[in-house]
Amino acid sequence: MLRIVLLTVAAALVARAQAQNCDPQRTRYAELNRSLIIQNKADAERYPKIKEAATQQLRTLLEQQISQQLSSDTFPQLPNILGRVRCLQSFLPQYRSNPEITNAPTAFLLRTPEPAVAVAYEIYRGGAGAPDTENFLEVFRVEGSNWQLVARTGEDFSGSTFFVNQLKPGKPGEAWFLLSGKHFGDSGSRLKLNVVSFNGVKLSTVWEQSGLHGVLITELAPDHIVLSGQKNDEHGRA
């Protein structure tokens, strides 16, 4: 019992320290992000004019904080990275955890020729009914004495649910990921899948499928994926 209490207290102290570390930045993040949340007609009219610039500023804030956290740790600590991302986004209720929408933020330590870390996150934009979210998977690597962003993908999952899972790589020295999601407001629930690889230098698409109507991922393991769904035959039978 004493050990559990001590661990809980330690976790709370770490979370508090991380929150204090990002306090000025999370206030700025919230100010910028609120301008991208549509709540009335005036917001909707302003949104197209500001969304690209404001999104870029939010992404820059996140990338700077992730790089700073990585550079401050002796060895990459994934809980610290995720704590920093959550801290930045903590003022806005739109980022409350929802496992049906996304598993971001999430992070992975990569076993590539040079030490690297992959971080997935979302930026909430648009209205509540059909959010215009921006989703990213970014890879950071040591450049000189600091950690820097070296690769990015995920833009194809704009305005959709977003899940990132690591797969067993098909080639030695690479890291592979499955990106999956369904577009918000899509009555057909069409699934999009994208397998990407990181070879230590860049992210590349290995395989992709989109428009999978009524298809679900029913099993996901490092070396295989099982998809289930149905389609009609020539007689119109499911």
The residue ranges of every structural domain in the chain are: 2-228
Confidence (pTM): 0.88
Residue 228 phi/psi, 5-degree rounding, is: -125, 140
Q: For residue 128, what pLDDT is reported?
A: 85
Average pLDDT over residues 179-199: 89
Does position 13 have pLDDT exceeding 60, yes or no?
no
Q: What percent of the chain has pLDDT over 90?
A: 76
Within 8 A by CB and 6+ apart from 33, the residues are 54, 58, 89, 92, 123, 124, 125
* Residue 165 pLDDT level (bands cut at 50, 70, 90): very high
* Residue 144 pLDDT level (bands cut at 50, 70, 90): confident
- Reported in sequence order, the residue ranges of 25-129 that DSSP labels E, i.e. its strands, are 106-110, 116-123
Average pLDDT over residues 80-94: 96
